[in-house]
Structure 1
Amino acid sequence: MAVSLSFEDEARLLSLRWGSEDKSFLASVKELIWPTLPLKPCAAQQKDAVAALWMGSNEWSIISNE
């Protein structure tokens, strides 16, 4: 499984990508950083001060205002 993470410190932005349809990836994300990633086009999920935005079939932006 190939996972790419990049952090933008000032913007409080996490760009999250994975390179396959591996279900274990989603389980790992759920356990480590986010309870539910949006899986439909143009969808978003928010929890407290953090939002996850679906950017494409294998990419999300995780954004925080704190």
Structure 2
Amino acid sequence: MPERGQSPPPERSSGKQLHDAPASGKGTDDASHKEDINKAALEHLTSNPRGPMEDEVDRKFDKHRKPSA
């Protein structure tokens, strides 16, 4: 008996594993408007978005603000 994760011996393999041609590479999702969706998404991207902690770092190291003790 093969160990877990190993392929079965060739005589027990199915046709898909041995002889059948690979799939056509076509996905199952509808990609009819892919170009429009990608273009719209690209237009709304910022070149370097602020990270979630940048406002806190700016506040913490602001030289004009009095430190809170």
- TM exceeding 0.5: no
Q: What's the TM-score bracket when you normalise by the shorter of the two chains? A: under 0.3
Which structure has the larger Rg over C-alpha atoms?
Answer: 2
More helix as a share of residues: 2
Normalising by the residue count of structure 2, what TM-score does the alignment of the two structures yield?
Answer: 0.22
Normalising by the residue count of structure 1, what TM-score does the alignment of the two structures yield?
Answer: 0.22
More strand as a share of residues: 1
Asked which structure has the greater RCO (Cα within 8 Å, sep 6+), the reply is 1
